[in-house]
Chains A and B, each alone.
Chain A
Amino acid sequence: MPEVPIDIAHVAKLARLPLTAEEAERFSAQFGRLFEFIRELQALDVEHVHPTAQVIPLHNVLRADEIRPCLDHDAALQNAPATEGPYFKMPRILE
């Protein structure tokens, strides 16, 4: 079984994507072959290569400080699963 270096439980927490034990195991197995390809990348000499910042050379794309119409309040809330008055409503924050 090719080695898959991902600590899936830790990454799932970062991604706020809890996985079942079955999912975690299955994904780990499925990533195996992909990591064979990924390991080939590690062997390349890229020391003097710049990472692609963007694929088409653009810079200084800025817009003038002008006001544009906002969404209608109803439109803004129209897809909200829960609202209370003019607010988006969701469960409490527990840190």
Chain B
Amino acid sequence: MNTGHEIRDAIARHEMTALEAAEMALAAIAATEPRLQAYLQLMPERALARAREIDAAIARGQDVGLLAGVPVAVKDLFCTQGVRTTAGSKILANFVPPYSATVVRRLEAQGAIIVGKTNMDEFAMGSSCENSAFKATHNPWSIEDVPGGSSGGSAATVGARCVPIAFGTDTGGSIREPASFCGIVGVKPTYGRVSRYGIVAFASSLDQAGPMTVDVRDSADALEAIAGYDPMDSTSANVDVPHYAGRLREDLKGVRIGIVSEFDESIAADKAMHALYQRAYEDLRALGAELVTVSLPHAKYGLATYYLIAPAEASSNLARYDGARYGLRVDGPDVFSMFDATRAAGFGPEVKRRVILGTYALSSGYYDAYYVRAQKVRTLMKKDFDEAFERCDVIACPAVSCPPFQLGAKSQDPVAMYLMDYFTIPMSLAGIPAMSVPAGYVDELPVGLQLVAPAFEEGRMLGVAHAYEQATRHAWARTPMVYAGEGDAA
């Protein structure tokens, strides 16, 4: 029983209790943590107590929610009241928030059992989970390899089937890339679909929380559980949340799938990757979809655009970390020296790089040339998608340029690491929903197919993903090296 919906249904049929599900998840985590290092904080007492409450409520005949009794993990970027929340950083190593993120409160209201906080790149800045101040997480498919980032811990724990559902955040690809690397489904919703309140901010105009799951069905339910207007977030959209699970399709008749010519060219350099994606597009066609070629002429400017806008916003969002009110403090003879010393000691190198870059992009004399210009190119990139979606319903393209790489392979070359986001950045800049769904293996390591839809069309996107998943069943073709799931996946 590796999926959330299976667990929830079993609990609902009294074939299993929430307590048993929680205990199993905690045991699976205990068995795999030595090799995976996916968690920064486990919450066993709280999880078991909550599971007992859910069981009692079910016994009383109460409807306990979409995720009733399902064990889940959340990235350590989500504030959880009374539970240490670090954002993967030394500067928050001892921070215990007095409040919970809206996403966390909604999950708990829908009956989910949060078992722990997962490892991540510091302040969500990274694509391999190696920028965590605390430890690196390992890919369950190959423990010398990275799980991807920045939601690496969440991806690894679901990849290993310790929990069926985890939550991450995606700013330039931080859900989709690790989902691809760990052979799972990962969804970045439309910007504004899910509340950002209580999520430690990285880049305010890009951050979005989303589910990372074993199958598309669970992503549909998990997204429905957390999506929706939040009066605590001014950028939260007041748009109805559909029952996404009702939009899942078995075939793609009548669906036009856009294939991005520029991306096709980019991936052609790697024969194996190119072949995998070509096969994926053929599988979509075999399901009845009509493939059309679309163009995103400004996508190639994505990297530069993103690495001006995101660090700029981050440089401002991270100014509050100064040792005054919470977190690490390194004392000084006066308060400004204290700020300096605390920040120098508390931030890792990638964070420092981006704060410097971002401060520069906003600084006097450079603001127009860098930040404003990047926001203009962003407008052009959004327009590319608007035009593409006039010719197709969903775009299918690579999620990544390669299968998971070795720990340490790219950590010395920041720009090589930034290039990991090449295919995922444009969708983030445009604010539109995108997801990764398992599409096969290269060198026995998982690779994901990215699907993209217009704003607020997650239902359409999940529908296509489900049809593809059920027809190809790549996630069930192989079993990861570190695996706590039931039986063989294969």
Q: B470 within 8 Å of A by Cβ?
A: no
Check A55 against B430 for contact (C-beta < 8 Å). Answer: yes
Contact of B352 among A19, A44, A49, A63 (CB under 8 A): A19
Contact of B376 among A12, A15, A46, A58 (CB under 8 A): A46
Interface contact B431-A11, CB-CB below 8 Å: no
With both chains docked as a complex, state the minimum distance between the C-beta of A62 and any C-beta of chain B, in angstroms: 9
Known contacts: A18-B344, A37-B304. The answer to whether A90 contacts B430 by CB under 8 A is no
A12 to B164, CA, bound (A): 43
B315 interface contact, C-beta 8 A: yes
Min CB distance, A30 to chain B, in Å? 5
On chain B, the residues within 8 Å of A11 by CB distance are 356, 359-360, 363
The binding surface of chain A is classed by DSSP as loop
Most buried by B among A18, A41, A49, A63: A41
Query: Could you tell me the distance in whole angstroms from the C-beta of A6 to the nearest C-beta in chain B?
Result: 5
Interface residue? B326 (CB, 8 A): yes
A41 near B335: Cβ-Cβ < 8 Å: no
CB-contact partner of B95 in A34, A56, A79, under 8 A: A79
Nearest opposing residue in chain A for B307, CB measure: A34
Given known A-B contacts A37-B303, A90-B338, A91-B337, A55 and B191 have beta carbons under 8 A apart: yes
Residues of chain B within 8 A (CB-CB) of A12 are 356
Can you list, as one digit per residue, whether each of B316-345 has a CB less than 8 Å from chain A (1) or not (0)?
000100111111110111111111110110
Measured CA separation A40–B299 after assembly (Å):
12
Q: Are B323 and A41 in contact (CB under 8 A)?
A: no
- Chain B neighbourhood of A93, CB < 8 A: 334-336
B61 to chain A, nearest CB (A): 32
Q: Is A71 close to B, CB under 8 A?
A: yes
Which residues of chain B are within 8 angstroms of A82 by Cβ–Cβ distance? 329
Q: Closest CB of chain A to B292's CB: distance in Å? A: 25
What is the bound-complex CA distance between A33 and B307, given in angstroms? 12
From A33, A80, A92, contact of B326 by CB (8 A): A80
A41-B304, A56-B455 are contacts. A17–B356 as well, Cβ < 8 Å?
Answer: yes
CA distance A15 to B340 in the complex (A): 9
Segment of B8-16, B172-180, B231-239, B255-263 engaged in the interface with chain A: B231-239
CB of B344 within 8 A of CB of A17, answer: yes
- Asked whether A67 is an interface residue with its Cβ less than 8 Å from the other chain, the reply is no
Contacts from A to B (Cβ < 8 Å): 6, 8, 11-12, 14-19, 23, 27, 30-31, 33-34, 37-38, 40-42, 44, 46, 49-56, 58, 61, 63, 71-72, 75-76, 78-82, 88, 90-94
Q: Give the A-binding residues of B (Cβ under 8 A).
A: 94-96, 98-99, 190-192, 205, 231, 234-235, 237, 300-301, 303-305, 307-308, 315, 319, 322-329, 331-341, 343-344, 347, 349, 352-353, 355-357, 359-360, 363, 369-370, 372-380, 382, 413-415, 418, 429-431, 455
21 A-B contacts (beta carbon < 8 Å): A8-B356, A11-B360, A15-B356, A16-B319, A16-B322, A17-B355, A19-B344, A30-B353, A30-B415, A41-B377, A42-B369, A50-B376, A55-B378, A55-B382, A55-B429, A56-B237, A72-B98, A75-B98, A80-B325, A91-B334, A94-B335
9 tightest Cβ-Cβ pairs between the two chains A and B: A55-B431, A51-B375, A79-B326, A81-B329, A94-B334, A75-B98, A37-B304, A46-B376, A33-B415
